[in-house]
Chain A
Amino acid sequence: MNRHRVLCVLSVLLVASMILTACPAPAPADSSSGDGQQAAAPSPTEGLVNITYSYGSRGIPADLQKVEDAMNEVLHEKIGVHLTLEPIDFGAFNDKMQLRLSAGEECDIIFTAPWINSYANNVANGVLAPLDDLLLNHAPGLWGSMPATTWDAARVNGVIYGVINQQIFPKPWGVHPRKDLAEKYGLDLDAVSKWEDMEPWLADVRDGEGITPVFVAAPGRGLFLSQYYGFDPLDDGIAFLGMKADDETLTAVNMVETVEFQMAADSTKRWVDEGYMPLEPLPNDEARSAFRAGQYAMGYHVEKPGNDVEAQNAYGFEFLSKSLTVPLILDTAGATATMNAICATSKNPGKAMEVLEEFNTNAYIYNLLSRGIEGVHWVWEDEANQVMRFPDGVDGNTSTYNPNTDWMFGNQFNAYYRDAKQVGAWEATKKMNDTAFPSEALGFVVDREPIKTEIAQTSAVYNELVLPIQYGWVAYADGAAEAIEKLNEAGAQTIINEVNRQLQEWRAKNPR
């Protein structure tokens, strides 16, 4: 009798809740959730179209409203749009955006990328508007600012869903050794062309300074960086998958099985065993302060133009910087690293695209958004060379508007330099972009839908068995066979077959 009652109660609940959920939802209060902020703003003038831009931010800048007003001064006139900026704290950005999108909330322009607020996921879930026609009709300048091959990178099944922010596209993996130690131990960077060439110097630094020279943060990091070894990783979410960027037959492989992976793993293992790399790396924040304290001699990362200056800013030492990646590869993930997209739920996609046109082609608007107002948040250091600085008595931390995320808002090549030493970096970067070797699969995006179970399974196996090899904890000879076998059991081959099928299908539609 007890059980019956339970069932009874439960079914009553169920029916009641179904009735409730079936009721038409009360219209979500004015969709754009920045009501509070809007109320404080001067009410938009009649006839303007409201567009909201949601993006990641560290905190809410104190002078957000001022910047928004300054932007609207131009936008009201020029395109009849009232723009509302909606910065969302970075720590919450991914969760909040995914929840909003999954709940079908209305939005206009959102930031999306392979690594946060996932572009692939958003496209698969149908929450982004197709942009091809919008680009042609509403943003000719933006459309013309990049070659068609670059735009192809943002295409999924032939349709563009995201506006690529121009910044560095290829990944020039290389090294940035500390200048003082390079000189002290006679490092000739010009003679270095691969990881292994660093070893004599690393040994000298290890012995002479008594430190573990290579900066690595937890959980660990190896030397296998796919573009360095000529691979296009195809999909960041499928770690073992890759394709030789110059492979005209478009054959994806399990990178763990390749000789390049083995070489990298062997070198990493040697670096760890020799004490060039830490065996048990410190957590990120501790490792960074250890770098600042002089406990490391070298980092290895994307050595884009001006990286020495950036590393100096971060760690306080002077650095040298050299890319060891030859040739540079332009692949889909690199080109689409940061994008802005328009929501499928937007009521005014055309106007939203006109806003994106301004972000990307109007240097004044772009720098307002990324640097703030001239004379208030920054002043010219050298206007001729487009170098700015903070006003006297203000720094990056005390500034009332300093988002520090140029790469998020639009064409980064329109950004003013922050340091005289960086002058020319944008031209150099653009040259890198233009001369990088386009991967045969540039523009191809994996459709994960038919293989998502296998992706989940292999990604767990990869973490467990491949990462220890990649990080140099387990020798390739000892661990690789088992790792490959387990990957295959988890469906690696199924994934490769399916991706190869998709690649051929894609090639048929997009002949070289």
Chain B
Amino acid sequence: MINDKQLGRQASTPPSPRQAQKPASATVRVIHRLFGNQRELTTNLSLLSMSLPGIILLFIFAYLPMLGIVIAFKDYRFNLGILGSEWVGLENFRFLFGTDAAFRITRNTLLMNVLFISTTTACALVVAILMNEAYRSRMSKYYQTMLFFPYFISWVIVSYFVFAFLNGQTGLINRWIDALELDRIAWYRSPQYWPAILVFANLWNGIGFSSIIYLAGILGISPELFEAAKIDGAGKLQQIRFITLPMLYPMIIILTLLAIGRIFHADFGLFFFLPRDNPLLYSTTDVIDTFVYRSLVELGEISMAAAAGFYQSFVGFLLVVGANWVVRRVNEDYALY
């Protein structure tokens, strides 16, 4: 890791004379070993003080509740509390793996998320580049606004529209199919179509959100780069390929890494409401989150829900640590940590 190497180098630089003269106490020596010479120390302390509010807030609102993860390994009883409840080892995880649904929900969750990540990234990049091309136009702000609309519409409402399009009796698409004198499609009994439907819905919902990050990235690229390329005779496509995309790599990689960390978590609303919790579609639409909901909605077992959540986080953690390791080997600057 580049910063480690740098740190190593800095740490091995000879101590400044001033520092050597002072009869440094043990603590001071430790501090200097950690942070380097006086100037570096000042810089580091300033930087540390900047990050302090964030560190504290994360500690309180993210790390303290994390102690509650132990609930996943306990038989949590309200009257006994977190500490008083009995340890049960991995018992709470059993329901996730007890049936052959385990394979299916894992496959669906992973597959759909991979599809989501790849399609969203690709389309968001295209849209961002197009928006950048249209940036000086008066229409630009209308495009941006329109792309953001879907983000405001909840999945419940989206599910109404999807039903209006796809249902067997009055659905718009089936009426079009009738007009073309083709065979109707029973969308709600045909699981094979649903990955595509869900990918489309997800894209539709999130494109405004994702593309704007890349648009900000493109607008952050120094215009001189493009000018220079133009002088060298590069066309639009070449500019995109050799300037825009490379400059966006860090952002693409970081967003992908973050998405990989959540790859075992599915968007519950999307997978629950759009297929309308229809058992006939489970083979392609059932994901870990919907499965857990369905298993536990009657039972209300907090411990088992916690176990499922821990499993999702833990696998995501392993995957992202692996992915980060690979990224670091390729280009240390792009790594997450």
Contacts and interface: CB of A to CB of B under 8 A. Distances in A.
The reply, when asked whether chain A contacts chain B directly with Cβ atoms under 8 A, is yes
Interface of A: 1-2, 13-14, 16-18, 20-21, 98, 101-102, 104, 118, 121-122, 124-127, 218-219, 236-238, 278-280, 282-283, 286, 344, 448, 452-457, 459-461, 463-465, 467-468, 473-474, 486, 489-491
B221 interface: no
A313 B79 CA distance: 44
A13 B59 CA distance: 8
Contact of A453 (B67, B95, B101): B95
B78 A104 contact: yes
A2 B335 CA distance: 14
A63 to B, nearest CB: 32
A456 B301 contact: yes
B299 A219 contact: no
B156 to A, nearest CB: 9
Nearest to A460: B295
Interface stretch (B121-129, B196-204, B257-265, B272-280): B272-280
B64 A283 contact: no
Contacts of A125: 77-79
Nearest to A465: B279
A126 B77 contact: yes
B13 interface: no
Contacts of A491: 98
A21 B279 contact: no
B4 A1 contact: yes
B21 interface: no
Given A2-B1, A468-B280, A459 B67 contact: no
A457 B296 CA distance: 9
Contacts of A237: 298-299
Interface string B47-84: 00000000000010001100100000000111111000
B111 interface: no
Contacts of B301: 452, 456
11 contacts: A13-B59, A13-B63, A126-B78, A283-B163, A448-B299, A456-B301, A456-B304, A468-B280, A489-B99, A490-B98, A490-B99
Given A1-B4, A125-B78, A126-B78, A286 B160 contact: yes
A118 B300 CA distance: 8
Contacts of A17: 59, 63-64, 67
Interface in B99-141: 99-101
Interface residues of B, number: 45
Given A456-B296, A473-B189, A464 B282 contact: yes
The 6 closest A-B pairs by CB, nearest first: A126-B79, A237-B298, A125-B78, A456-B95, A456-B295, A457-B98
B279 A468 contact: yes
A1 B159 CA distance: 51
A508 to B, nearest CB: 27
Given A17-B63, A127-B79, A490-B99, A464 B279 contact: yes
Given A219-B278, A453-B91, A460-B295, A102 B101 contact: no
A463 B99 contact: no
Given A104-B78, A125-B77, A126-B78, A20 B64 contact: yes
Contacts of A118: 300
B188 A280 contact: yes
A14 B299 CA distance: 32
B256 interface: no
A280 B168 contact: yes
B276 A219 contact: yes
Contacts of B99: 457, 460-461, 486, 489-490
A280 B169 contact: yes
Contacts of A218: 276
B160 A460 contact: no
Interface string B293-312: 01111111110100000000
Contacts of A122: 78
B133 to A, nearest CB: 41
